[in-house]
């Protein structure tokens, strides 16, 4: 007969999902940040830039919904990128909303940084393994759907 397992400190250390995910996040973020450093760009901002580029005109709520980011976090991130000249405000009908878009400099930055991103992506893929990367897609989709409900 199996005993009901008692969760020990050791078990947590060995199995905590958050712990592992956070560790991988630190390592992988480091890989991309290293690669992007010559451009004065970090992957945290890079992902916002890219999404903005995809959206054309982006509203904070929309970006936060995609990225599962707190809106206050985005607010300050966008402010930095505006100061860097990569994003600009777009006047909108609803005065509550402050949409933004890429500037020419922002677009140029992305183009210049793509080879570095590709290199980081290759390194991360190699480190994590193909299988993990493909499940990452699945998991990310699941999470997005779960939060869209």
Instruction: Choose, by CB under 7 A, the member of 11, 12, 20, 22 that binds DNA.
Output: 22
Residue 147's alpha-carbon distances to 48, 124, 125, in angstroms, are 19, 26, 26
Please tell me whether residue 47 binds its own copies under the rule CB under 8 A: yes
Instruction: Choose, by CB under 8 A, the member of 32, 45, 78, 81 that binds its own copies.
Output: 32
Strand, coil or helix: 88: strand
Q: Which range of residues in 5-13, 77-85, 86-94 is near its own copies by CB under 8 A? A: 5-13
Please tell me whether residue 13 binds its own copies under the rule CB under 8 A: yes
Q: Binding to its own copies (CB under 8 A): which residues in 119-138?
A: 120-121, 124-125, 127-129, 131-133, 135-138
Q: How far apart are CA 47 and CA 135, in angstroms?
A: 20
Q: How far apart are CA 143 and CA 98, in angstroms?
A: 27
Q: How far apart are CA 64 and CA 122, in angstroms?
A: 27
Q: Kindly state the number of chain residues that form the binding site for its own copies, as judged by CB under 8 A.
A: 56
> 89: alpha, beta or left, given left = phi > 0 and alpha = psi -120 to 50?
beta
Q: Which range of residues in 40-48, 103-111, 124-132, 140-148 is near DNA by CB under 7 A? A: 40-48
Please tell me whether residue 70 binds DNA under the rule CB under 7 A: yes
Q: Which range of residues in 1-9, 58-66, 109-117, 126-134 is near DNA by CB under 7 A? A: 58-66
CB count, 10 Å around CB of 37? 11
Exposure b/e, 94-111, CB count within 10 A at least 16 = b: eeeeebbbbbeebeebbe
Residues engaged in binding DNA (CB under 7 A): 22, 26, 29-30, 33-34, 42, 44-45, 59-61, 68-73, 75-78, 80, 93-99
């Amino acid at each position: 007969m199996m005993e009901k397992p008692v969760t020990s400190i050791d078990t947590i250390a060995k199995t905590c999902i958050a712990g592992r995910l956070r560790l991988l996040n630190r390592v992988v973020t480091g890989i991309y940040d290293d690669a992007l450093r010559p451009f004065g760009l970090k992957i945290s901002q890079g992902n916002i830039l890219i999404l903005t580029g995809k959206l054309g005109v982006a509203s904070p709520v929309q970006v936060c919904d995609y990225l599962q980011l707190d809106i206050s976090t985005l607010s300050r991130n966008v402010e930095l990128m505006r100061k860097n000249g990569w994003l600009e405000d777009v006047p909108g009908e609803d005065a509550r909303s402050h949409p933004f878009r890429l500037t020419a400099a922002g677009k140029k930055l992305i183009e210049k940084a793509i080879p570095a991103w590709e290199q980081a992506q290759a390194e991360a893929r190699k480190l994590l393994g193909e299988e993990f990367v493909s499940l990452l897609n699945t998991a990310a989709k699941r999470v997005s759907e779960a939060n869209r409900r």
